[in-house]
């Protein structure tokens, strides 16, 4: 197997749980980092399934899985953003940053110190010449995505309550698409977004309750990290701190594992 040139960090969770906001913040905090969006692999609107009279953008059938896995494989083998992906996600409105400048600067300084010579981050990124790819998507950890999950090195899961997800989603201006622009029609969250999320993520929670407790056994088995001791609506500042700490911890483990491997014969 070809040695990976990038560490892929999956950021998944229900729509409007803060995935893209978090990815953009992490891109500013970690060096040599870029974002790949699951939304950039949507099929053409005419190909989307219809459910309850709506075009369903929030299901697995709306995504071109082969194209997405091709892009992830390219990232792993080259360490760079795939040139054949035409990203539209960064054209969407980001809204007001929910994290203070002071917190962002403090985390930048922490990561910068961590990547200095002699530190585990330096060993991984500078010696191994690895980059960080933040893979942001709403359906990364459903059961049907086993082949995709195998391409993700660090799996992080966010969540939001029904009330918060509905409020945030309905406040959005809309989304840039292949055809132009999409805005959710009235009733879309209740008919499509939330039911689809519950159906695809129930297996990760005790008794299938996506606003309740995580099934920590399943998360451990699949290598998925989440804020298991928090409620469903954690503020972004705490989530950002947790994510930075988690990524650093996982990268230290990876660095130790990589450095312990015998070097190939010259």
End-to-end Cα, the chain, rounded Å: 18
User: 1: Cβ–Cβ under 8 A, 6 or more apart, which residues?
Assistant: none
Smallest CA-to-CA distance from 132 within 246, 14, 266 is with: 246
Distances (CA, A) of 144 to 5, 59, 122, 140, 226: 26, 11, 36, 9, 20
C-alpha distances (whole Å) from 215 to each of 180, 220, 250 are 40, 9, 21
List the catalytic residues. Answer: 39
Nearest-angstrom CA–CA distance, 219 and 228 = 10
Q: How far is residue 111's CA from residue 127's CA, in Å, rounded to a whole number?
A: 17
């Amino acid at each position: 197997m070809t040695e990976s040139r990038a560490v892929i960090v999956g950021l998944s969770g229900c729509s409007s749980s803060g995935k893209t906001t978090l990815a953009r913040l992490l891109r500013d905090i970690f060096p040599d980092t870029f974002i790949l969006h699951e939304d950039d692999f949507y099929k053409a609107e005419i190909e989307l399934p219809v459910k309850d009279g709506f075009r369903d953008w929030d299901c697995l059938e709306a995504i071109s899985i082969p194209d997405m896995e091709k892009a992830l494989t390219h990232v792993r083998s080259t360490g760079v953003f795939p040139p054949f992906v035409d990203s539209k996600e960064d054209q969407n409105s980001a809204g007001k940053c929910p994290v203070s400048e002071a917190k962002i600067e403090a985390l930048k300084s922490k990561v910068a110190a961590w990547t200095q010579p002699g530190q585990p981050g330096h060993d991984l990124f500078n010696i191994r010449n690895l980059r960080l790819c933040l893979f942001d998507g709403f359906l990364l950890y459903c059961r049907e995505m086993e082949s995709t999950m195998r391409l993700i090195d660090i799996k992080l899961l966010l969540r939001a309550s029904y009330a918060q997800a509905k409020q945030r989603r309905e406040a959005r201006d809309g989304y840039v698409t292949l055809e132009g622009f999409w805005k959710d029609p009235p009733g879309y969250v209740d008919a499509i977004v939330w039911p689809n999320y519950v159906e695809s993520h129930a297996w990760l929670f005790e008794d299938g309750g996506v606003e309740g407790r995580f099934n920590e056994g399943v998360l451990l088995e699949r290598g998925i990290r989440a804020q298991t001791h928090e409620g469903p609506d954690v503020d972004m500042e705490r989530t950002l701190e947790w994510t930075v700490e988690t990524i650093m911890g996982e990268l230290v483990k990876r660095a130790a594992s990589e450095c312990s491997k015998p070097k190939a014969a010259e």
